[in-house]
Amino acid sequence: MSAYGNLRRIKEALEYLAGFAQSQLTTLQEGVEPGFEQLVDAYVKTHRTVADEFEALSRDVLVSGDSLLEETRLATERRMKQLFSGKVPDQYLRARRYGGVHPVLLEYLARHVGEPVPASKLRVLTGDQVHTERRVRALRDYGFSISWKHVSGEAQYVLSSTSGDLDVAARFQLRKNLQDDRSLSSEEKARFLKP
């Protein structure tokens, strides 16, 4: 999908809503109550289209080739092997892939490293997904230092460095892999997790 196509569809959606609002203004000027439910429906339709197109546009603009997240995932696997090879079965030395909006969020934060980024901007990148902030916090699983604070009633996130702490990431990924394997006893999991 091209940025041109995304922007064209955003423009068309906004023109649709503007046209609908104009028709409701005309109706109101004629002394007739506007069609409130139709106005709500037009807004919802426009909002969904604009959100979807911004998500697609964000992916096209921010993620090209290997993302920072994928590079960090591969580096985490290498670090896992350095730290745990021979101590833990190889099947647990894999780092999970975070797809979807995770790479987009990390790339955007990386463009603003050290700067507060409002959650509202991050939600634009994800098509206004309700769990956007949780996905930002999940990037810590790869050792990224991401802090947050409330400013003027809104959460803001700050990525302190584009380099994740690979030791933190390797230990987290190993712990998660072991916890998710229900065939292991608690004792086996504890033994594998010993320093």
Residue-wise pLDDT for 84-139, tens only, equals 999 999 999 999 988 889 999 999 999 999 999 999 999 999 998 888 999 999 99
Look at residue 1 in the predicted model and tell me its pLDDT: 53
- For the stretch 59-92, pLDDT in tens is 999 997 779 999 999 999 999 999 999 999 999 9
Judged by DSSP in three states, 148 sits in strand
Domains of the chain, by residue range, sit at: 3-62, 68-193
The type of residue at 190 is: A
As given in the structure block, the two tokens for residue 11 are 């423009």
CA distance 65 to 143: 22
User: Taking a C-beta distance cutoff of 8 angstroms, is the pair 80, 166 a contact?
Assistant: no
Q: Where are the beta strands (DSSP E) in the chain?
A: 117-118, 146-151, 154-159
Q: Predicted confidence band at 34 (pLDDT cuts at 50, 70, 90)?
A: confident
User: Taking a C-beta distance cutoff of 8 angstroms, is the pair 107, 180 a contact?
Assistant: no
State the maximum Cα–Cα separation within the chain, in Å, rounded to a whole number: 81
CA distance 157 to 139: 12
Judged by DSSP in three states, 100 sits in coil
**Of 69, 68, 92, residue with least CA distance to 170:** 92
CA distance 14 to 51: 12
The type of residue at 161 is: S
- The third-level CATH classification (topology) of the domain covering 68-193 is Arc Repressor Mutant, subunit A (1.10.10)
Judged by DSSP in three states, 58 sits in helix
